[in-house]
Amino acid sequence: MTHRASLTAGDPDTLRVTLAGHPFCAELDVDHVHAMANAASERQLPTGSFLLQRGQPADALALLIEGDVSLEVTEPGGDPIVLETLHGGDPVGWSWLFPPYRWLFDARCLTPVHLLQLDAAHLRGLIDTDPVFGLALTQRIGLLVVQRLQFTRAQLVEMTHHDRA
Amino acid sequence: MTVLDVPTQGTLTSRPYQITTVRHQTHDIVTIDVAPQQHPIAFRPGQFDMVYVYGIGEAAISISSDPATPGLLSHTIRAVGWVTRALNDLQPGTTIGIRGPYGRPWPMEEAEGKDLVIIAGGIGLAPVRPAIVEALRHRERYGRIVLLKGARSPRDLVFRDDLDRWHADRGIDVHVTVDSAVRGWSGRVGVVTKLIPRVPFDPENCVVLTCGPEVMMWFSAEALLKRGVPAERIYVTLERNMKCGVGTCGHCQLGPVFLCRDGPVFSWPEVAGLLDVREL
């Protein structure tokens, strides 16, 4: 991640509870949540800071707890084009799971953001060593990708559809 | 309500109305307020009129005003064809013809005692606006009232004054999102259907009114069903080239139903299978 926001080391038990309560972890095996918690830290980001930036190493999965984030792309000399906004309860980023592990878009904080950051190398290591955990996590990321793809398709249709009078 | 319960109101003869106000909602959408030159005719939320520009033609337009004041009738119109372009160019003082109201209204009585969820895409806020106004007038009859409003971009948002007022009103939970935005927009960006899983309402005890592009309503219904809303509690309003308004000409036929006569409001099970048929 490219920001230099405050990092809260956090009590491991608190992190586990916070992680277990995040929608991304709903119905995930408790042992898997504990394993993920070992890769987690809490972060607070101020308005206007970047959670991730295009071209930078995709080194973490972010789980938003509170706050709004804008997923956007910027052309040189132009205003950022906002593709989608993400909010408390949303995960941010899947490029950490797939080579070349680099972000393709910017994610900018529209408000103060409180999030859980999970170290990507740690997660990939868990996936390699525990196939059951690996399947559970990659299925969640897969579902996330499918949902975002469906939303994007719907967005495309709506943007090109000239609705009725 | 069944199709047979709905009286065929209005006749095939239009009555003269004078335009009192023209409000420009967006670059291609206006709201025209009209006053009858004869006695006012009551309507129910969700019904539509056939609006006649003399010498040019008629178009089916949903009524967007308050049902409690039938003497001041509003129609919100996007300029897409000959008639609607002509309507967009009219000035106060012009006389137009109106016949109606027609069609099956929103099931406001069925929603009483339940959460009322309203999903509107683009100009789709116009046909549900009378339902919102009526529900807020009788706020005690409903549980939560939730409005999910989507638009292509901030410049395409209609009824901005209403949205601001409703947003400040504790009686209704308003969520607005746009498909595309640039600098200056601080709200949500994304499709309106994305809001459905996360907005607070009781899926097992709600009635949903949906209006917008068909594809938006289809995606909304899918998301609502996934959340646990019974299919028969999801209502959509449809338009397919209505001409006569009374179910005789067949222009708006969708398989076994005529949208003008049997709709325009339908429960999801009544039309879900029809919308999946490409040839209809």
* Spans of all domains in chain B: 3-102, 108-237
Q: Chain B within 8 Å of A111 (Cβ-Cβ)?
A: no
- Alpha carbons B209 and B120: distance in angstroms, whole number: 8
Q: Do β-strands B115-121 and B206-211 pair in parallel, antiparallel, or remain unpaired?
A: parallel
pLDDT by residue (tens digit) across A39-60?
Answer: 999 999 999 999 999 999 999 9
pLDDT (average), residues B11-25: 89
Question: What is the DSSP code string of B216-267?
Answer: HHHHHHHHHHHHT--GGGEEEE--S--SSSSSSS-TTEETTEEHHHH-BEEE
Query: What is the average pLDDT score of chain B?
Result: 89
> If you classify domain B108-237 with CATH, what class do you get?
alpha beta
pLDDT (average), residues B183-195: 87
Residue type, B139: R
Using alpha carbons, select from B44, B35, B40, B39 the residue that is nearest to residue B7. B44
Tell me if A165 and B191 make a contact (CB, 8 A cut-off): no
Residue type, B77: I
Tell me if A158 and B152 make a contact (CB, 8 A cut-off): yes
What is B3-102's CATH superfamily?
A: Translation factors (2.40.30.10)
Per-residue DSSP letter, B155:
G
Would you state the torsion angle of the CA atoms of residues B224, B227, B230, B232, taken in this order, to the nearest 10 degrees? 0
- Alpha carbons A104 and A98: distance in angstroms, whole number: 12
Residue type, B189: V
Q: Per the structure block, which two tokens stand in for A43?
A: 């972060």
- Alpha carbons B218 and B206: distance in angstroms, whole number: 18
Q: Look at residue A24 and tell me if it is in a domain.
A: yes
Q: Chain B within 8 Å of A26 (Cβ-Cβ)?
A: no
Q: Chain B within 8 Å of A82 (Cβ-Cβ)?
A: yes
Tell me if A157 and B121 make a contact (CB, 8 A cut-off): no
Give the minimum alpha-carbon distance from A149 to chain B in angstroms, rounded to a whole number: 12
The total number of structural domains that make up chain A: 1
| Whole-number pLDDT of residue A6 | 44
Q: Per the structure block, which two tokens stand in for A27?
A: 């119905």
Q: Is residue B182 over pLDDT 80?
A: no
Q: Is residue A5 over pLDDT 60?
A: no
Q: Look at residue A1 and tell me if it is in a domain.
A: no
The whole domain housing A117 covers 6-160
Tell me the pTM: 0.84
pLDDT by residue (tens digit) across A121-153?
Answer: 999 999 999 999 999 999 999 999 998 998 888
Q: Look at residue A165 and tell me if it is in a domain.
A: no
**Does residue A9 or residue B142 have the better pLDDT?**
B142
Q: Is residue B237 over pLDDT 70?
A: yes
CATH code of the domain containing A107: 2.60.120.10
- Alpha carbons B257 and B65: distance in angstroms, whole number: 27
